[in-house]
Amino acid sequence: MSWGFLRDLLSGVNKYSTGIGRIWIAIVFIFRLLVYVVAAENVWKYEHDEFECNTKQPGCENVCFDHFFPVSHIRLWALQLIIVSTPSLLVVFHVAYRESREKRHNQKLYSSPGKMDGGLLCAYLVSLVLKAGFEIVFLVLFYKLYNGFRVPRLVKCDMRPCPNAVDCYISKPTEKMIFLYFLVATSGVCIVLNVSELSYLIFKYSIKCYMKTFSEKQQ
Amino acid sequence: MDWGALHAILGGVNKHSTSIGKIWLTVLFVFRVMILVVAAERVWGDEQQDFICNTLQPGCKNVCYDHFFPISHIRLWALQLIFVSTPALLVVMHVAYTRQEKKRHFRNSEKINIEELKNEKIHIQGALWWTYTSSIFFRIVFEAIFMYAFYYMYDGYQMPRLVKCNAWPCPNTVDCFVSRPTEKTTFTIFMLAVSGICILLNLAELCYLVIKVCVRERRKST
């Protein structure tokens, strides 16, 4: 029970998505989830063990590591993946609600419970706004916590019990930086996809609404 | 045999739950079990290895670690998730028992489509209502007990950076440093917040069920 659960959840949403939505799901699976599991996790695996400070003072390394990495990059990445995927559940819940309503009243209330109109369209639009919003929040969080997306090679630490300012060396800084930039790039692409899907849906349904009122007026 | 087994067992509960119950189940698996497995377990993975004491005395580190962490946060969370999920099994057992009774009744009187019986939706009323409500009540009680246990055992929800230990065989009061205290505090607060949300969902479901029954009784009497 781990990332497979998230994958099954998102596959369920695929049925009710637009074309752009399906591209978004594919990008999340391949360029974010898969990259996280097969590559990124291993880069940060021994980050604490390989964090070395130029001192023999016990406890200094622990304290300096905690000071420079309050929450590890890889944990923030995992949280981002989970939280950004969750708004899609709104769509799943809405479709389940429609199907249960049809069953309860024993009649066809919707041409198809998965057709994008009215309530389902609202739920879908809200989920898109939330997805884009959460992506931006996490990018800002990364930026603020680590003063940008750079990973320095050396940090100077003078927290107690370190005797004075001590040099501490981070393991694999360049590799971590590359993966961080990759994360930022894929987040950016996902934000662009969400915003374009939002504009496309709003545009499509405004045109539909306008054509309907125009043809009603003509009659 | 892992968390997937729990998911398989509780999948059956989903069919007979209210909408709030379905949301609770999703929150449980997405924000608690998943976070535990993919993130929290890694944070606490090296907790004893990187627990460092400022002494060369053999055995001092072990004794101090055991004194300050009688049971690890990760293990407590795993227990909490199991205890909190188990009351739902009462509902599954009750539904299975009801179906068994119906099957036996129909076998005695007339033939019936077994598939139809299996997929028939069972409404939450009568004895099932009592079973369902008690399961929600137990869930709330277990959540509260575990939240209090965390608070009592660790003097609050913050993980200290430094603990002072003078348990034998440490020669005198020794400084011991916990690994990743800030990250652990962050995850502890996150799990606490999600437990709180789960308690609220359970309370809302309880109120919904009570109101539903009151409305039904009023309709019957008028």
pLDDT in tens, A21-59: 999 998 998 899 989 998 999 999 999 999 999 999 999
- Residue A113 clears pLDDT 70, i.e. is over it: no
Q: Is residue B14 one of the residues assigned to a domain?
A: no
pLDDT for B110 equals 59
To the nearest whole Å, the CA of B57 is away from the closest chain A CA by 13
- Averaged pLDDT for residues A112-137: 86
* CA–CA gap between residue B166 and residue B54 (Å, rounded): 12
Q: Supply the pTM of this predicted model.
A: 0.86
Asked if the ipTM is above 0.85, the reply is no
The encoded tokens of residue B189 equal 């607060």
What was the pLDDT predicted at A218?
A: 80
The phi and psi torsions of A166 (rounded to 5 degrees) equal -120, 140
Inter-residue contact A73 to A112 (CB < 8 Å): no
Domain presence at residue B208? yes
A-B interface: how many C-beta pairs under 8 angstroms? 97
Point out the residue among B35, B55, B179 whose CB comes nearest to the CB of A62. Answer: B179
Task: Specify if B149 maps to a domain.
Answer: yes
pLDDT at A200 over 80: yes
Cβ-based neighbours of B128, under 8 Å, separated by 6 or more: B16, B91, B94, B95, B98, B122
Closest by CA to A24, choosing from A134, A187, A137, A199, is: A187
Provide mean pLDDT across the span A8-31: 87
Q: How confident is the model at residue A79 (pLDDT cuts 50, 70, 90)?
A: very high
Structure tokens at A203: 């545009």
Helix (H), strand (E) at residue B174 = strand B174-177
Mark residue B154 as left, alpha or beta (left: phi above 0; alpha: psi -120 to 50; beta: remaining).
alpha
CATH assignment of the domain containing B133: 1.20.1440.80
Total count of residues recorded for chain A: 219
Q: How far is CA B140 from CA B83, B135, B147, in A?
A: 11, 9, 11
Q: Which residue has the higher pLDDT, A17 or A84?
A: A84
Structural domain contains residue B170: no
- Identity at B126, one-letter amino acid code: G
Q: Where are the alpha helices (DSSP H) in B28-173?
A: 34-35, 41-43, 60-68, 73-85, 88-109, 114-119, 127-153
Angle between helices B3-15 and B88-109 (to 10 degrees): 50
Torsion of CA A96, A101, A104, A108, to 10 degrees: -110
In a domain, B123, yes or no: yes
Task: Give the distance from residue B106's alpha carbon to the nearest chain A alpha carbon, in angstroms.
Answer: 25
Secondary structure class of B115 (helix, strand, coil): helix
| A163: nearest Cα among A70, A59, A69, A67 | A59
Q: For residues A168 and A64, is the Cβ–Cβ distance under 8 A?
A: yes
A5 inside 8 A of chain B by CB: yes
Judge whether residue A134 has pLDDT over 90. yes
Supply the DSSP string of B19-64, one letter for each residue: HHHHHHHHHIIIIIIHHIIIIIHHHTTTTTTT-EES---TTHHHHH
Is pLDDT at A64 greater than 90 in this prediction? yes
Give the ranges where A28-172 is alpha helix by DSSP (H): 35, 41-43, 60-68, 73-85, 88-105, 118-146
Which helix (H) or strand (E) is B11 found in, with range? helix B3-15
- Chain A residue numbers touching B178 (CB-CB < 8 A): 62
- The predicted model gives A190-217 an average pLDDT of 91
Q: Which residues contact A117 (CB under 8 A, 6 or more apart)?
A: none
Per-residue pLDDT band for A208 (boundaries 50, 70, 90) equals confident
Residue B76, domain member (yes or no) = yes
- Give CA–CA dist B180/B183, Å, rounded: 5
Asked whether residue B94 is domain-assigned, the answer is yes
Check residues A6 and B164 and name the one with the higher pLDDT: B164
A7 shares contact with chain B (CB less than 8 Å): no
Token couple for B95: 């539904």
Domain that holds residue B131: 21-45+71-160+181-221
A1 Cβ under 8 Å from any chain B Cβ: yes
- Comparing C-alpha atoms, which of A36, A137, A38, A24 is closest to residue A85? A24
The count of domains in chain B is: 1
Report if residue B197 sits inside a domain: yes
Banded pLDDT at A114 (limits 50, 70, 90): low
Burial of B152 (0-12, 13-18, 19+ CB in 10 A): exposed
User: Tens-of-pLDDT digits for all 222 residues of chain B?
Assistant: 678 888 887 877 887 888 899 999 999 999 999 999 999 999 998 888 899 999 999 899 999 999 999 889 999 999 999 999 989 888 888 888 888 888 887 776 655 566 665 666 677 778 889 999 999 999 999 999 999 999 999 999 999 999 999 988 899 999 999 999 999 999 999 999 999 999 999 999 999 999 988 888 888 887
Task: Give A155's strand partners.
Answer: A168
Domains annotated on chain A, with CATH: 16-209 (1.20.1440.80)
Please report residues of B whose CB lies closer than 8 A to that of A49. Answer: 46, 50
d(CA B179, nearest CA chain A) in Å = 6
Does the beta-carbon distance from B50 to A3 stay under 8 Å?
A: no
B182/A66 CB distance under 8 A = yes
- Per the model's pLDDT, the better-predicted residue between A33 and A9 turns out to be A33
Kindly report the nearest CA distance between residue B105 and chain A, in angstroms. 26
